[in-house]
Amino acid sequence: MPEESVEKWVQLADAGGDLRSLMNEVNKHMETRTFLVGNELSAADEAVYKAIHAELSKSATDEKARLSGVHLWRWFDLIQHRCEKKGNLAMVDIDLNLSMEQMKIAASKEPKGEQRGLLLHVKKRKNWILPK
């Protein structure tokens, strides 16, 4: 795991700057990844999770926010379940079940070449992601 990449994310999280910018960067970065750096939970994931926890807690029920950051929310939910025994942050109740129509809306906001990929991913995982 490249230490400079972990360091970059930890510094961004600790900078206390614009959280919206950080969340947008995480959302874009997580399009093709499970963790921020490498293939396992790292200090980068934990630092960013802690930095944005309060902000995402406020918008967990906002469907528009979830649709505009589907990769961020997926990552956040994974990390909160991996870190739940490590800290004192409350679990955020996130409904990741989106209808196919909602997924089409989210896909329409993706760059042209990636729209098809997001919808194919959803169709393959239909029973896992979408309610019946």
CB 109 within 8 A of CB 97: no
Burial classification of residue 132, based on how many CB atoms lie within 10 Å of its CB (0-12 exposed, 13-18 middle, 19 or more buried): exposed
pLDDT (0 to 100) of residue 86: 65
Tell me the average pLDDT of the chain.
Answer: 77
For 10-43, how does the pLDDT look when each residue is reduced to its tens digit (9 = 90+)?
999 998 788 999 999 999 999 999 999 999 999 9
pLDDT (0 to 100) of residue 43: 94
CA distance 95 to 37: 25
pLDDT (0 to 100) of residue 96: 64
pLDDT (0 to 100) of residue 17: 82
117 pLDDT band, cuts 50/70/90, is very low
